[in-house]
Structure 1
Amino acid sequence: MATLDEKPATADDVLPLALTNYGHFTSMRVDADRTIRGLTLHMERLARDCKIVYGVDLDTGRVRGHVSEALDGQAGPCVVRVTIYDPAVEMGHPADAENPSVLVTVRPAGKLPPAPLRAKSVQYERDLPHVKHCGLFGALHARRAAQLAGAEDALFVGRDGLVSEGGTWNAAFVDGNGAVVWPQAPVLPGVTMALLRQHATGIEHRTATVTVDQAKAMAAAFATNTSIGVRALSAIDDTELSTQNPTLAALRDAYLSIPGETL
């Protein structure tokens, strides 16, 4: 299901997005009661990124209305993606794109928590890492390389040798003292990451540079995003990691206990 400004989206509507890939988005997990953890943060992200990508203010009230309309008749947990793009954008004149529309798509959500994830370190740095933009070619190419090597997803490593984030998720680690270590690197400021830092108050959180070797030596590692919550990493390259660490369980419980917001 896809709607553009609350009308059914046609192939012609989304063709400019497919051909230019110029836009930004956020994805939100909607629980069965139609509440969304971190809804306010998702709206703030869309507004912030719209100013960066298009130089205009986004009416987040309008966005919320479009999402509510798209959810009518949806049963069970789902993931809503809101993509902001201008259907009039042209490859040669992106500066003329200044009237973005709201594309809303809905898909079923997986169960929480998902099975642990095997990751492979891949050298890659996202363009404009602080923006959740539609330029996913590099990330998907890295994911493909990881999967061809026998893993499930890529853990990005910069040219400086420091770990940053995952294919479509924030990465974090648990040290030997049970503290959570978030990589100090150019990364997307994730909503789930922010919620964990705000609500998992009984756990120490710190930010530090992390090399691949340091990541492999951690007591545990995990991925976070709105679709998966807290997902343990079972391996980085050929190094196996514990998926039963008590800090992981505490983070998972803290995340699931966060009350959702209504549209």
Structure 2
Amino acid sequence: MTTPAAPATPPAETPALHVEVDGSPVADPELLATLMSGYGHFTAMQVRDGRVQGLGLHLDRLDRATRELFDRGLDGGRVRALVGAALEAAGRRDASARVYVYDGARTVVTVRAPFPPDRTPQALRSVTYWRPAAHIKHLGGFGQTFHGEAARRAGFDEALLTGPDGEIAEGAVTNIAFWDGTSVIWPSAPCLAGITMALLAPRLPSTSRRVTLADLPSFRSAFVTNSRGIAPVSRIDGVGLVVDEELMDRVYAAYGAAPWETL
């Protein structure tokens, strides 16, 4: 006698996700879970009169990282439309805008008041830490935030990320460049190629090579760059650096020469 086959076990259903924030249920918990996953990437830009310096570089960055993380592209025209719509909804032509990309190419745009450029000389504290997947402007930057906050509590402005042997990569939220009196030297260690850095490098006598903390006394000056602007460096740990006004005027002029692109 043949034994009847056991009925197939129905596939388990994924439990419904319930999320509350401060005691109130979230309308779309799946979306919130995606945003809280920490897996994604972003770009940050300063918008002036509806235009952005290096807009094409921002769009290329978003597309490359989306392909690497999620195996799909991100249409630049759609990004421009989303940022433009967010600016219009916020009633702003000048703004600090960010574009975040999550799993499934979910795209989030944030808009806030523009950050005025801060050219105050910066004091940096070196720490032994390099960002994972440093070439991506990714989310989940606990390490760099942790070290940045610790540096500020110690009386510095930002952390400088270095390897175990003192090789310099980047600031916690900046790129760094050194001036030897002839060339601008960008460290060759793994780091994020920032948009401001990418706009400056071809407009200045630039080179890239290994730089360590032991090399600091050989440099006259240094400066840091990010989406908020450019600032000179006055010291790294206990090593003082000259704030070279002539150099900085040259750097600011080079950055000012970068064209603005309309969203």
Q: 1:178 aligns with which of 173, 177, 182?
A: 182
Which amino acid in 1 is paired with 2:85?
Answer: E
Q: Is the 8 A contact 2:35 2:102 kept in 1?
A: no
Aligned to 2:116: 111
Structure 1 residues 197 and 71, CA gap change in structure 2 (3 angstroms): same
The Cα offsets for residues 13-62 of structure 1, whole Å up to 9 and x where unpaired, read as 7632453201100001111x211000000000000000111111111211
Per-residue CA deviation, residues 63-117 of structure 1 (Å, 9 max, x unaligned), is 110000011154463210000013xxxxxxxxxxxx2211000122222243221
- The percent of aligned pairs where both chains have the same amino acid is 37
Q: 2:191 aligns with which of 187, 195, 207?
A: 187
Determine whether 1:34 maps to 2:39. Answer: no
- Residue identity opposite 1:39 in structure 2: L
Gaps of 5+ in 2: 1-25
**TM-score, normalization: structure 2?**
0.84
The match for 2:16 is none
Residues of 2 paired with 1:11 and 1:118: CA distance? Answer: 43
User: In the alignment, is the contact (CA less than 8 A) between 2:151 and 2:158 conserved in 1?
Assistant: yes
CA RMSD of aligned residues (A): 1.9
CA deviations 1:148-188 (Å, max 9, x no partner) are 2210110100123200000111111111x231000010011
Return closer, same or farther for 1:13/1:63 CA change in 2, 3 Å cut-off: farther
**1:45 is matched with which residue: 61, 85, 88?**
61
Aligned length: 237
Give the letter aligned to residue 215 of structure 2: Q
3-state SS, counterpart of residue 170 of structure 2: strand
Instruction: Name the structure 1 match of 2:172.
Output: 167
Find the aligned partners of 2:234 and 2:28 in 1 and give their Cα distance.
40
In 2, the alpha carbon distance for the partners of 1:179 and 1:49 equals 31
One-letter code aligned to 1:51: R
Q: Secondary structure of 1:125's match? A: coil
Question: Structure 1: which amino acid aligns with 2:185?
Answer: V
Contact 1:118 1:152 in 2 (8 A): yes
CA distance in 2, matches of 1:108, 1:205: 33
If the length of structure 1 is used for normalisation, what is the TM-score?
0.84
**Partner of residue 25 from structure 1, selected from 38, 42, 45:** 42
The whole-number CA distance in structure 2 between the counterparts of 1:44 and 1:157 is 27
Higher Cα Rg, which structure: 2
* Contact kept? 1:47, 1:58, Cα under 8 Å: yes
Q: 1:67-82 alignment to 2 at 5 Å?
A: 67-72=83-88, 73-75=90-92, 77-82=94-99
The alignment partner of 1:109 has SS state of: coil
**What's the offset of the Cα at 1:204?**
1.6
1:77–1:116 Cα change, 3 Å: farther
